[in-house]
Structure 1
Amino acid sequence: MLNESCPSLELPMTGGATFNPASLKGEAFVLYFYPKDSTPGCTVEGSDFRDKHADFAAAGAKVFGISRDSIKSHENFKAKMAFPFELVSDPDETACAAFGVMKMKNMYGKQVRGVERSTFVIDKEGKVVHEWRGVKVPGHVEAVLSVVQGLK
């Protein structure tokens, strides 16, 4: 994934818009994959991106959260948490497959297939310039912001 072009996608997102990386050429953006709306870790991660949103905007980067949840679920989560960025719905795992974020995980002693918390920074040319996989939430958003602020 690293140093490759961002995959071509067209997915629904909150606000009635369509997420299409090709339409973002000329703009840097952050795409963070998370397992599920309104769960503890995902709420903290989203809130951290929300709280640093002005800093990302000042650095010239948009932020998008993405999970397999429905648009209805995303709209509720976004409203409840007052997220200033859009959430992308990937129910068919199109983006998850393109970015290779689906993994087998242990949940309560059982093997389950789910989204590995991962974040990607895409530069103005549409190239993936940084990736984090198996993300631990504390301090993560600050690390992402640091990379974004370092983009030329």
Structure 2
Amino acid sequence: MAKPTTEVIDLPDFPVTIVRELDGNFIHDNISLKELVTNSSKGLILYFYPKDNTPGCTTQATDFTAHINDFDTLGYDIIGVSRDSVESHEKFIAKHDLHIPLISDGDEKLCQYFDVIKEKNMYGKITLGLVRSTFVFDKSGTLTHAQRNLRAKDYAERLLAVLAS
């Protein structure tokens, strides 16, 4: 079981665009995350990452893909979220043979809901950017684990260890 979190965040009930690949075709589903979990017998790992096809984000996505069966065995689906477009997600999925769906959050509604847009200091310049974060919900939709400002390298393995304990 994941370590309890002090954050209280409900799964949002507004529609999001989920991009996934099935048999060489891309499917775009518009569904709320609350409805997605309600219609599933699994929990949900929702991870936010800054940008498709960047080194850390690619590492994180390919690691989640490599461990998708392990997360499935523990009873979790995985969905990545960034502000990239549907087309960018399609290219990212195809280029790296990702087996996890991605949410296109171009209007930042989901990012704002989870409060993952923060000030960042990039080479002395302050900008607003997406902070790499993960939120784990059990099959009833209750937030059980949250982590913000995390490192991408080996994160899937670290999260598996937390969920398995």
Q: TM over 0.5, yes or no?
A: yes
Normalised to the residue count of structure 1, the TM-score between the two structures is 0.91
| 1:6–1:126 Cα contact (<8 Å) kept | yes
Q: What is the TM-score with the length of structure 2 in the denominator?
A: 0.85
1:120 maps to which of 135, 138, 148: 135
Contact 1:28 1:122 in 2 (8 A): yes
Is 1:74 the counterpart of 2:89? The answer is yes
Structure 2: tracts of 5 or more residues without a match: 1-5, 20-26
Q: What number of residue pairs does the alignment pair up?
A: 150
- The answer to whether the aligner puts 1:136 opposite 2:151 as a matched pair is yes
Q: Give the secondary structure class of the aligned counterpart of 2:17.
A: strand
Alpha-carbon displacement from aligned partner over 1:120-140 (angstroms, at most 9, x marks no partner): 101111111100100112232
C-alpha distance in structure 2 between counterparts of 1:137 and 1:117, whole Å? 8
Is 1:106 equivalent to 2:121 in the alignment? yes
- Unmatched 5+ stretches in structure 1: none
RMSD: 1.5
Residue 36, structure 1, aligned to residue 48, structure 2: no
- Determine helix, strand or coil for the equivalent of 1:16: strand
Map of 1:17 onto structure 2: 29
Q: Indicate conservation of the 8 Å contact 2:12/2:32, yes or no.
A: no
Q: How far apart, in 1, do the equivalents of 2:31 and 2:91 lie?
A: 18
| CA apart distance, 1:27 | 2.1
Paired-residue identity, %? 39
Distance 1:119 1:19, change over 3 A: farther
Once residues 17 and 97 of structure 1 are traced to their aligned partners in structure 2, the CA distance between those partners, rounded to angstroms, is: 21
CA-to-aligned-CA distance 1:64-89 (integer Å, 9 cap, x gap): 00000000000100111111110000
**Which secondary structure does the structure 2 equivalent of 1:57 belong to?**
helix
- Counterpart for residue 96 of structure 1: 111
Q: Distance in 1 between matches of 2:105 and 2:44?
A: 18
The one-character-per-residue Cα deviations of 1:98-145 (angstroms, maximum 9, x if unpaired) are 111001111232111110000010111111110010011223211222
Match of 1:4 among 1, 9, 19: 9
